A and B are shown apart, each in its own frame.
Chain A
Amino acid sequence: MINNVEAALEIGAIGITGIFIFMLIFYAAIKLILKLFPEKENKEE
């Protein structure tokens, strides 16, 4: 049981850090995508 508790703590620490890393990567990806594919403003009719 103690092993499970310790493992859960370790998984928790790695897991929450991992999600933040994923989100930061996705954040960077969104910024990059927005730069690569900007929305072109509609030409006035």
Chain B
Amino acid sequence: MDISVLFPALASLTWQHILMILIGLTLIYLAIFKEYEPTLLLPIGFGTILVNIPLSSAINQIDGKTGEIIEGILSVFYEGGIATEMFPLLIFIAIGAMIDFTPLFNNPHLLLFGAAAQFGIFMTMFIATLFGFDLKEAASIGIIGAADGPTSIFVASRFAPHLLGPISVAAYSYMALVPIIQPPVIKLLTSKKERLIRMQYSSKKVSRKALIAFPIVVTIISGLIAPASLSLIGFLMFGNLIRECGVLNKLSQSAQNELASLVTILLGITIASTMTAERFVTFGTLTIIALGLLAFVFDTFGGVIFAKLLNLILPAKKKMNPMIGACGISAFPMSARVIHTMGLKEDPHNFLLMPAVSANVGGQIGSVVAGGLILTLVNLFA
């Protein structure tokens, strides 16, 4: 009997499928043994194997005899959770419930680094258009520079769902690689003297009413200026309000734990449904992976250079350590830890952790604002 009849999956296996299975195994390896964003990379890795076995029932298949579509569960999850933007938005509630804005209240001026370090998004978007990507694709690639997985997924699922796989993998992989990406860029841009700058930091208690008012005020302001950003910012701030209100501790804990875990599992394995060989094994994927790295480099560049520019006008006692600028990305608390460690290496008595955390929290807001602005602006230009 013909092998294709007995083992149709085996007979349909191509080198592209094998390559994708190897990519899936690599992601699982990185997640388990290197602990690179395991919560996302492991489900994506396993899902990649799942969808790249030919004729997999996990994704939609076309019946060869009738021509009808046989639905696969991951395709159903995709239509219900990603195409509708539900999964990334639910994750935003969980993230909002995890964020403590107190460090930002103590040093609100450090919010500005959350703006400067979004430079990589726009620079990468520009470069992506030079590579021939259209505006929506370029915006989806640029948003990798938000260093914020859910924002990347949200924007990509709206503008370029066909690129969702490589964009998600790039976003989460580079977030895990922040300790490797940022230090050389920072060292290249700063002098030893600059890295030794000590920073003043105020640490006061913030009232409960202030912490409750903040998410409400931010939501109203953002909505009035850029309504397209409301679902992103609104869900983040809703999660934060649950945390800070003080009367929904059970919900806050559920959002931070059960909701985050459940949606992360579904999000990861559903993203994998887009990582089929036909979509992923292309030259475009390699370009996206390279551009994603560039986005993180330009983010760091933007934050550090902005701090250096500020130092030109600040009095000697108030000078900023330019390394803090690099914390304006959303990778929290990874980036703050990296800068704190770098500071200690230069001077064991220079503790940069608290200002670094403030800038890093600013980056969490900045990345979501950037996502909202991209959604608004690209729709105007495209």
Contacts and interface: CB of A to CB of B under 8 A. Distances in A.
A43 interface: no
B122 to A, nearest CB: 3
A39 B209 CA distance: 9
Given A16-B115, A16-B118, A34-B105, A11 B125 contact: yes
Contacts of A5: 126, 129-130
A8 B138 contact: yes
Nearest to B221: A25
Contacts of A33: 105, 210, 213-214, 217
Secondary structure of the A contact surface, majority rule = helix
A40 B369 CA distance: 32
Interface in B324-382: 362, 365-366, 369-370, 373-374, 377-378, 381-382
Interface in B80-137: 104-105, 108-109, 111-112, 114-116, 118-119, 121-123, 125-126, 128-130, 132-135
Contacts of A27: 108-109, 111-112
A22 B225 CA distance: 9
Interface string A14-45: 11101110111111011101101111100000
B359 to A, nearest CB: 11
Interface residues of A, number: 32
B204 interface: yes
B207 interface: yes
B222 interface: yes
A5 B129 CA distance: 5
Contacts of B210: 33-34, 36-39
Contacts of A4: 129, 133-135, 138
A26 B221 CA distance: 8
B381 A11 contact: yes
A18 to B, nearest CB: 5
Interface residues of B, number: 50
B314 interface: no
Contacts of B116: 20
A22 B115 contact: yes
B230 to A, nearest CB: 13
A23 B221 CA distance: 11
B111 A26 contact: yes
Main secondary structure on B side of the interface with A: helix
A33 to B, nearest CB: 5
B108 A31 contact: yes
Contact of B108 (A12, A30, A36): A30
B139 interface: yes
Given A11-B139, A29-B214, A39-B205, A23 B122 contact: no
B126 A8 contact: yes
Given A8-B129, A20-B115, A38-B207, A14 B218 contact: no
B209 A23 contact: no
Contacts of B207: 37-40
Contacts of B130: 5
B52 to A, nearest CB: 32
A37 B115 CA distance: 26
A13 B206 CA distance: 35
A5 to B, nearest CB: 5
A19 B134 contact: no
B49 to A, nearest CB: 36
A30 B101 CA distance: 10
Given A7-B381, A30-B104, A39-B206, A19 B369 contact: yes
Given A8-B138, A18-B377, 15 more contacts: A5-B130, A11-B125, A11-B377, A15-B122, A20-B115, A22-B221, A23-B369, A25-B225, A29-B218, A30-B108, A34-B105, A34-B206, A37-B210, A39-B204, A40-B207
19 contacts: A4-B129, A7-B135, A11-B374, A11-B381, A12-B126, A13-B122, A14-B377, A15-B377, A19-B370, A22-B221, A23-B111, A23-B114, A23-B115, A26-B108, A29-B218, A30-B105, A30-B214, A31-B108, A38-B207
